[in-house]
Amino acid sequence: MSNTSDVYLKAARYGKDLVRIMRVYREADKQTCTELTVRLLLEGAIETSYTKADNSVVVATDTCKNTINILAKRSSNVDNIEVFGQEITAHMLKQYTHISSAHVDIIKHKWSRMIVDGKPHPHSFVRDGEELHTAKITHLRAGNSVTITSGLKNLLVLKTTGSAFHGFYKDEYTTLVETWDRIFSTSVDATWTYTVRPAEKYSAVDYPAIYASVKQITMDTFAKDESASVQATLYLMQQQILAKYSDVAEVSYALPNKHYVGIDLSKFNIDNTGAKMEVYHPQADPSGLITATAAHSTIGAN
């Protein structure tokens, strides 16, 4: 039997997960709403709660939940999730001196204002897509430094032409046929990390504008590029984002290649091949998965 004396606590963090919030802002004749799912985890001088059964160092996870709810009530930035996340982490470090770092992950669920009688409705919304805006905030007491990673997830896109795949490596296991015209579909999962800087310098970043721009660059590049491969199109997206935003240190994409396979109708004497391919089977799995991270050649805080 192993000796427990050589066991040590290497790392630990704890907190509250799946905190659900719907925040409504009411103005004179217009209302806005934001729905979030929040995770808050803490690190610091908490090891004795694990090793000595000493709960005196534990900020209860219920307290973490209550803190998130109260800050959502008081904050004017719940819709700006990168800033709201910083408000949470800053509060935890100010309130609990034995906590050395706070980590917040936020998922922003999509609600779009309804268009009724040709005009945006003042208080009605629709879930018109499954894409998610995400944010990950890590706030360290040492140096009061913050790292923020924003994300765009589950943006489902498809184009029926303008994509090819040929000239790839072939060996005795290769059966894939080259194609010069195919359906290209993917569910975009993109993240971009801002340059690390002191907490007080992050408030000047226009996170909603950058999120909207990344989404637009992603869609424009997807639609316009005569794609030689998912890899090549992915890298074009990264180049444009990094060229436009010096505040962004690196960009990562994970693009599953959602395959649409031409259905064989030859048994019915119907040609559904080549230029005449018009009926496809959406293939659930397996799928290709293309990932990459691109960064500025020199990364440093501004």
Active site residues: 16, 61, 259
25 vs 183: CA distance, rounded Å: 42
On whether 165 is known to bind a ligand per the annotation, the reply is: yes
**Cβ-proximal residues to 204 (8 Å cutoff; 6+ apart), any chain:** none
Q: Is 205 annotated as a binding residue?
A: no
CB 88 within 8 A of CB 104: yes
Cα separation, 216 vs 64, in Å, equals 35
Calpha distance 277→203 (Å, rounded):
52
Eight-class DSSP state of 165: B
* 78 in a known ligand binding site: no
222 annotated among ligand-binding-site residues: no
Choose among 130, 148, 127: nearest CA to 247. 148
104 is in an annotated binding site: no
Helix residue spans in the chain (DSSP H): 47-51, 61-74, 81-95, 207-224, 230-244
Token readout for 249 is 């240190």
Query: What are residue 120's phi and psi, to 5 degrees?
Result: -60, 130
DSSP 3-state assignment of 226?
coil
Of 65, 64, 73, the closest CA to residue 95 belongs to 64
> Which of left, alpha, beta for 214 (phi over 0: left; psi -120 to 50: alpha)?
alpha
The count of residues in the chain is 302
182 in a known ligand binding site = yes
Contact between residue 163 and residue 181 where contact means Cβ atoms under 8 Å apart: yes
Q: Is 74 annotated as a binding residue?
A: no
Q: CA-CA distance, 83 to 211, in Å (whole number)?
A: 13
Q: Report the alpha-carbon distance of residue 145 to residue 128 in Å, rounded.
A: 37
Residue positions forming the annotated binding site: 61-62, 165, 182, 230-231, 257
Residue set of the binding site for urate: 61-62, 165, 182, 230-231, 257
| Residues of each annotated binding site for 5-hydroxyisourate | 61-62, 165, 182, 230-231, 257
Task: Specify binding-site residues for O2.
Answer: 61, 257
